Amino acid sequence: MQDILLIKYGELALKGDNRSFFENRLMKNIKNALNEINDVKIEKTHGRIYVECSDNTDYVIEKLKRVFGIVGITLAKKVDLNIEDIYEASINIMKQYKDKSFKVETRRPNKTFPYESMEISRKVGAEILSNVDNLHVDVHNPDVLLNIEIREMAYLYTDVIDGIGGMPVGTNGKATVLLSGGIDSPVAAWMMMKRGAEVNAVYFHSHPYTSERAKNKVIELCRVLSQYGQKIDLNIVNFTEFQLAIYDKCPPKMTTIIMRRMMMRIAENIARKTSSMALVTGESLGQVASQTIESIYCTNAAASMPVFRPLIGMDKSEIMGLAKKIGTYEISIRPYEDCCTIFVPKHPVIKPVLEEIEEIERNFNYQNYIDNISIDVQSIK
């Protein structure tokens, strides 16, 4: 009998002929997540991935809980494929439970095993009742569910630890996220990663109006997000001169929306250079003046590649809850201003008209600024 971690994945199993592509990427991501741990063996069979580790099991599980594509992790007993060994393992597992009801459920992907699923459950249940005191059967609402999987070996387990689900990072293209250092944009990046996108980040730095601590906060956010399956490259744009020019040359109430449009143009240039095919923002509909439908329409018009806003239908409390869950919240709330919160006009336009915005921009030679900025980007890998 051997302890082994059994990895479950959900929607990957529905990928038909493409299934192996997603499974192989998940295997690669699991290996990357565990590469610092000695004596770990990872193996894939049809429908399952197994992880063997000599020690540090709890640490390995914590690492696996951050790998997208995994819906469940269970510590299982692996035994030879004969009914007597299954009896013995089942009895040993159930001896830890006292005064509980239980049920046995069996899956039998390996049809060469001589007993069918219902028959195995029935036989094992009878052996448990004969050898373990103070247990009784409840097939409708059991306290303990003993699972038996008949594969190339037999696997037995009772508890399943939830994974974070989603798709393996790297299976759904590459996108560039505009990362401000606030609460929302790191969550947006995480949600894109959860759907399998590989992401890199762009941060707009306006020194000395934004501090080195604000920049370091973004670097730390990238480090936290990197724990979810990929190292995130950060591109830092020196935005000060351009931002001052925007506020010097444009009507105050229009400066926020024009700044957002310029950020989109710069981010798109960086995205194309880094093989990204989409931009990602942390906007939530109606949260601030730049996030009304009219403002988002004007912002979108400045970009030619798709712009994804995974938080668009979430309210602030939902976003904060998710930020706490993924470990970015405490970093994001540090009181260091980013470039989006400085020079904010008292009365920003909430229903901008694209034609008016474009007319203002025609009188502002912004392309020179964009060209100069695009060749002076600091990249942190």
| Token pair listed for 283 | 């906007």
Q: Is 285 annotated as a binding residue?
A: no
CA-closest candidate to residue 335, choices 185, 207, 182: 182
Q: Is 229 annotated as a binding residue?
A: no
| The pLDDT value given to residue 340 | 64
Q: Is 223 annotated as a binding residue?
A: no
| The pLDDT value given to residue 312 | 96
CA distances, 91 to each of 29, 106, 122, 257, 373 (Å): 36, 15, 14, 67, 68
Q: What pLDDT, in 10s, does the model give residues 116-162?
A: 999 999 999 999 999 999 999 999 999 999 999 999 999 999 999 99
| The pLDDT value given to residue 224 | 96
| The pLDDT value given to residue 102 | 97
DSSP annotation of 68? T
| Token pair listed for 152 | 């190339």
Low-confidence ranges of the chain (pLDDT < 70): 1, 336, 338-343
| The pLDDT value given to residue 329 | 96
Q: At 245, which helix (H) or strand (E)?
A: helix 240-249
Length of the chain: 381
| The pLDDT value given to residue 38 | 84
CB atoms within 10 A of CB 306: 11
| Residue owning tokens 């690669």 | 28
Contacts of 76 (CB under 8 A, 6+ apart): 3, 4, 5, 6, 149, 155, 156, 157
Q: Is 260 annotated as a binding residue?
A: yes
Report the alpha-carbon distance of residue 9 to residue 70 in Å, rounded.
5
Q: Is 230 annotated as a binding residue?
A: no
| Token pair listed for 179 | 């990362």
| The pLDDT value given to residue 92 | 96
Contact 280/199 with Cβ under 8 angstroms? yes
Contact 295/257 with Cβ under 8 angstroms? yes
| The pLDDT value given to residue 1 | 67
CA-closest candidate to residue 209, choices 251, 173, 240: 240
